[in-house]
């Protein structure tokens, strides 16, 4: 998501190569480029200026270490500074129970969607969330939240007759107490930070429900305006955190840097896709790494831990080791991967892959594969060898695909089996060597 | 025209104040100097004009300052407004005037988006990322055209987002608009197909198609848009005649990326810029116009139906720089 910034920083620092010492002079042009890159990435003017000044002070006088290029060295300094700017730690939610969360933001920033996503995440963490519809202004906003709540099997409260948001909030607290909900999330209407009436409305709601967390939902593509928005909402509502949305796009996300630098309010969550599972805790160090194109393996691993059934995974791994892996296991494995989110969002977390766009319908391809396997009988799944021409045609018909696709899948599966057998039969070393050679070519950092 | 500028200024009231605050000395009657130039640079960057336009405006003001060390703030503001007017020349889109100079990579450029048959409705497709304001804009535009005495049908083709169809229906009741809708999860292309038939049968002038929000990086959703177009073209090979990108005016440089990608895959013919009633200067539209030369048809200056207004380059440039009439 921050690829463009990375590219610009890299090209800005390229001309530092072969310099013995970083001085203010030889850094000047590069830092000017860095500033331009930050501005082009929508980082606020003042934040960009201060950032560049700090990096300049830290760089000046440093010996260029022989083993790395000056560019890499500066990238390291910029990375550390980014981590600092984005703020360490402090991304956790209040431990209060019941936990009351108020969502606020501009129109179309993604409050209602984020409310449902946060509800889902907290449910997974053992809470019993109640989603409360306090957006009485946008047509059908209440319906939208109700549908999403139903979809995620979350409790929901609304009062379509009421025009008093504070009263709806108070009533919801009673509903939560009666229903045993230990987490209440209030979705509010989108409002401009300069719309006094609506700001007063949400202030009254805040006063009534006394939230433990007030989260500002911000579109990751927001421009210089981000600073005004965040400041005004912070003044009115004393924010405790930010949710950065739509980060699955290619927005450079300078807004995140600006808001953090100017208000000091920590970024707590990021929305990374259209599925309700595409929602993550925010980690500044990971984001900084991502800004510099270093990938985000840690997020991927944690996502896997949360979504994948440990026992299932172990069983599958064991089967793989024994090379006793059939199409049914393959299907189970695929379904587990699907739980992690869309393929594109998974890819985005891999080192060096963040800029790679999946070809059209990679997720659809997976759905087709699933359909093919599901069109097989249990016996066929367990013993793919019995699949003759007739059976293959029947499967193709059942899945609504061409027979070529069935053949392709089976061929891929055979190759996979072969690989597993190699690993089992002491060929593991040989395979490692093969992978080693691949690594040299592909250049995956940190692997 | 004066009424419009007033409306614009009212919408931009906060904006003008904001730029004025930063550049108080500069845009007043005092002569400018080196330090006020730096203040100006900051004001321009924070208006989201982007690196290129900001530098261009600065260069011109600096050049004028070199010639005349007594350059007054008002004169500098006029230079800034003039640069904006020059950069945005031709950026005003008008529904009743022919679409010219729009390079459409999807279909061969036509001088005028004439329908195959004069009695066919003219189709306007609203496209954009999530939360840019497509549904609201669709309703407001339908209302506006109806006020002008045109017959309008709305197609609720956002069948993806929960309750988007209901949202449009509520607008329909409020503003007395005609809507063809199915349910969430329905095939959006089928809704478009039916809506076109209904509009044609009822002899409507316009069909406005509200589509699902999608990030421009999602190719499968982009494919859905292409399908809507294919299906509409079964009725009328020239439909949709207008393909407008709805852009959130408070976004930064990413809106240029969005516009580029949508333009590549869908051949945009124009823009609608929403949410300009905040403190954002919507400067990113300058960048979009620079890159793609897509005319801006309407701007959103508020939540009421009548707050959707035709775009005027003069009013925009003057409002941003606080140039007095």
Domain harbouring B74, CATH code? 1.20.120.140
* DSSP 8-state class, residue B318: H
- pLDDT number for residue B52: 86
Least confident among A147-151, A372-376, B34-38, B43-47: B34-38
Considering the domain architecture, whether residues A125 and A246 belong to the same structural domain is answered as yes
- pLDDT number for residue A186: 97
Regarding predicted confidence, which is higher, A41 or A293? A41
Mean pLDDT along residues B280-284: 77
What total of structural domains would you count in chain A?
A: 3
- pLDDT number for residue A163: 93
Say which of A46, A228, A344 has its CB closest to residue B279: A228
Q: Give the nearest chain B residue to A142 (CA atoms).
A: B163
Domain harbouring A361, CATH code? 1.10.260.30
- Cα–Cα distance, B126 to B244 (Å, whole number): 5
Regarding predicted confidence, which is higher, A401 or A288? A401
Do residues A13 and A70 touch, judged by C-beta distance below 8 A? Answer: yes
Select from A241, A256, A289 the last residue of a domain. Answer: A289
Considering the domain architecture, whether residues B78 and B118 belong to the same structural domain is answered as no
- pLDDT number for residue B295: 95
* Interchain pair B45, A222: CB under 8 A: no
Domain harbouring A19, CATH code? 1.20.120.140
Regarding predicted confidence, which is higher, B65 or A156? A156
Domain harbouring A265, CATH code? 3.40.50.300
Q: What are phi and psi of B123, to 5 degrees?
A: -100, 130
- pLDDT number for residue A433: 54
- Cα–Cα distance, A22 to A330 (Å, whole number): 54
Q: 């594969």: which residue's tokens? A: A369
Answer yes or no: is A136 within a domain: yes
Can you list the alpha helix ranges (DSSP code H) found in A340-400?
A: 343-347, 362-374, 378-382, 389-399
- pLDDT number for residue B110: 41
Return residues 57-116 of B near A (CB < 8 Å).
Answer: none
Say which of B18, B170, B220 has its CB closest to residue A139: B170
Do residues B268 and B244 touch, judged by C-beta distance below 8 A? Answer: yes
Residue A440 has pLDDT above 50, yes or no: no
Most confident of A38-52, A110-124, A332-346, B105-119: A110-124
Tokens of A197: 């009436």
Answer yes or no: is A379 within a domain: yes
Residue A335 has pLDDT above 90, yes or no: no
Considering the domain architecture, whether residues B81 and B138 belong to the same structural domain is answered as no
What range does the domain containing B126 cover?
114-311
Considering the domain architecture, whether residues B42 and B174 belong to the same structural domain is answered as no
Confidence band, pLDDT 50/70/90 cuts, at residue B173: very high
Dihedral of the CA atoms A115, A4, B277, B291 (nearest 10)?
Answer: -140
Q: What are phi and psi of A45, to 5 degrees?
A: -50, -50
Return residues 380-439 of A near B (CB < 8 Å).
Answer: none
What range does the domain containing A171 cover?
99-289
Mean pLDDT along residues A389-401: 89
Question: B154 touching A, CB under 8 A?
Answer: no
Select from A262, A289, A316 the last residue of a domain. Answer: A289
Answer yes or no: is A91 within a domain: no
Tokens of A384: 């793919």
Question: A318 touching B, CB under 8 A?
Answer: no
Mean pLDDT along residues A39-53: 86
Q: Using omega within 30 degrees of 0 as the cis cutoff, is the peptide bond preceding A133 cis?
A: no
Say which of B48, B162, B174 has its CB closest to residue A224: B48
Least confident among A245-249, B94-98, B315-319: B94-98
Considering the domain architecture, whether residues A163 and A238 belong to the same structural domain is answered as yes
What ipTM was reported for this prediction?
0.77
Considering the domain architecture, whether residues A263 and A386 belong to the same structural domain is answered as no
Answer yes or no: is A370 within a domain: yes
Mean pLDDT along residues A220-240: 91
What total of structural domains would you count in chain B?
A: 2
Average pLDDT, chain B: 83
Residue A239 has pLDDT above 60, yes or no: yes
Least confident among A160-169, B201-210, B306-315: B306-315
Mean pLDDT along residues B186-199: 94
Considering the domain architecture, whether residues A103 and A57 belong to the same structural domain is answered as no
Confidence band, pLDDT 50/70/90 cuts, at residue A280: confident
User: Can you say whether residue A246 is alpha, beta or left, with left for phi > 0 and alpha for psi between -120 and 50 degrees?
Assistant: left
- pLDDT number for residue A252: 66
pLDDT in tens, B55-114: 999 999 889 988 988 887 778 888 888 999 999 999 999 887 544 444 444 443 343 455
Answer yes or no: is B107 within a domain: no
Considering the domain architecture, whether residues A263 and A381 belong to the same structural domain is answered as no
Least confident among A60-64, A439-443, B4-8, B319-323: A439-443
- Other Cβ atoms less than 10 A from the Cβ of B150: the count is 15
Average pLDDT, chain A: 79
* Interchain pair B223, A360: CB under 8 A: yes
Mean pLDDT along residues B142-164: 93
Q: What percent of chain A has pLDDT over 70?
A: 72
- pLDDT number for residue A300: 56
- pLDDT number for residue A84: 84
Q: Which residues in chain A are closer than 8 Å to B130, comparing Cβ atoms?
A: 108, 110, 113, 246
């Amino acid at each position: 998501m921050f690829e463009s910034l990375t590219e610009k920083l890299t090209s800005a620092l390229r001309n530092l190569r072969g310099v013995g010492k970083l001085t203010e002079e030889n850094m000047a042009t590069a830092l000017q480029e860095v500033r331009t890159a930050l501005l082009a990435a929508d980082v606020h003017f003042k934040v960009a200026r201060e950032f560049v000044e700090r990096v300049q002070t830290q760089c000046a006088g440093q010996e260029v270490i022989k083993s790395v290029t000056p560019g890499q060295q500066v990238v390291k300094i910029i990375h550390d500074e980014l981590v600092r700017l984005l703020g360490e730690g402090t991304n956790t939610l209040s431990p209060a129970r019941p936990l009351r969360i108020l969502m606020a933001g501009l129109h179309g920033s993604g409050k209602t969607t984020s409310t449902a996503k946060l509800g889902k995440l907290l449910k997974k963490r053992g809470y019993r969330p109640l989603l409360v519809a306090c957006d009485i202004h946008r047509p059908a906003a209440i319906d939208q939240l109700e549908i999403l709540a139903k979809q995620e099997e979350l409790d929901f409260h609304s009062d379509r007759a009421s025009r008093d948001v504070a009263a709806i909030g108070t009533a919801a607290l009673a509903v939560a107490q009666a229903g045993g909900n230990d987490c209440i999330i209030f979705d509010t209407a989108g409002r401009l930070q300069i719309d006094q009436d609506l700001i007063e409305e949400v202030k009254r709601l805040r006063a009534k429900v006394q939230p433990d967390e007030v989260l500002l939902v911000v579109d990751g593509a927001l421009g210089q305006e981000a600073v005004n928005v965040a400041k005004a909402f912070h003044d009115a509502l004393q924010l405790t955190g930010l949710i950065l949305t739509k980060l699955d796009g290619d927005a450079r996300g300078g807004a995140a840097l600006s808001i953090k630098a100017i208000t000091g309010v920590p970024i707590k969550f990021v929305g990374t896709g259209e599925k309700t599972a595409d929602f993550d805790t925010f980690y500044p160090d990971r984001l900084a790494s991502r800004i510099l194109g270093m990938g985000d393996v840690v997020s991927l691993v944690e996502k896997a831990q949360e979504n994948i059934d440990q026992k299932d995974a172990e069983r599958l791994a064991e089967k793989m080791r024994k090379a006793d892996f059939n199409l049914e296991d393959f299907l189970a494995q695929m379904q587990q991967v699907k739980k992690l989110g869309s393929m594109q969002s998974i890819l985005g977390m891999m080192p060096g892959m963040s800029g790679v766009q999946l070809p059209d319908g990679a997720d659809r391809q997976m759905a087709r594969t699933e359909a093919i396997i599901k069109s097989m009988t249990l016996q066929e799944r367990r013993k793919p060898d019995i699949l003759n021409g007739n059976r293959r045609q029947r499967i193709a018909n059942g899945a609504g695909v061409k027979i070529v696709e069935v053949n392709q899948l089976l061929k891929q599966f055979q190759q996979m089996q072969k690989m597993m057998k190699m690993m089992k039969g002491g060929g593991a070393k040989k395979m490692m060597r093969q992978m080693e050679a691949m690594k040299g070519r592909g250049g995956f950092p940190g692997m | 025209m004066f009424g419009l500028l007033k409306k614009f200024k009212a919408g931009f009231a906060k904006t003008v104040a904001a730029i004025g605050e930063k550049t108080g000395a500069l845009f007043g009657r005092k002569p400018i100097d080196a330090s006020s130039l730096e203040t100006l640079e900051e004001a321009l960057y924070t208006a989201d004009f982007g690196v290129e336009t900001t530098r261009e405006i600065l260069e011109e003001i600096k050049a004028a300052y070199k010639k005349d060390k007594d350059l007054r703030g008002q004169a500098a503001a006029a230079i800034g407004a003039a640069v904006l007017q020059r950069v945005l020349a031709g950026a005003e889109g008008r529904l009743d005037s022919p679409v010219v100079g729009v390079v459409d990579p999807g279909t061969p450029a036509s001088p005028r988006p004439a329908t195959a048959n004069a009695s066919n409705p003219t189709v306007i497709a609203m496209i954009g990322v999530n939360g840019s304001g497509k549904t609201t804009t669709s309703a407001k535009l339908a209302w506006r055209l109806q006020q002008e005495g045109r017959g309008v049908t709305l197609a609720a083709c956002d069948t993806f987002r929960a309750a988007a169809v209901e949202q449009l229906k509520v607008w329909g009741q409020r503003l007395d608009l005609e809507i063809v809708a199915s349910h969430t999860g329905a095939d959006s292309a089928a809704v478009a197909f039916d809506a076109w038939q209904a509009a044609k049968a009822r002899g409507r002038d316009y069909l406005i198609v509200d589509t699902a929000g999608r990030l421009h990086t999602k190719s499968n959703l982009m494919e859905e848009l292409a399908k809507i177009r294919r299906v509409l073209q079964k009725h009328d090979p020239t439909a949709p005649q207008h393909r407008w990108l709805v852009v959130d005016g408070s976004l930064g440089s990413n809106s240029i990326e969005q516009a580029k990608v949508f333009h590549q895959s869908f051949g945009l013919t124009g823009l609608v810029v929403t949410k300009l009633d905040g403190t954002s200067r919507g400067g990113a539209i300058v960048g979009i116009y620079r890159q793609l030369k897509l005319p801006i048809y309407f701007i959103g200056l508020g939540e009421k139906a009548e707050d959707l207004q035709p775009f005027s380059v003069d009013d925009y440039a003057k409002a941003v720089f606080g140039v007095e009439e």
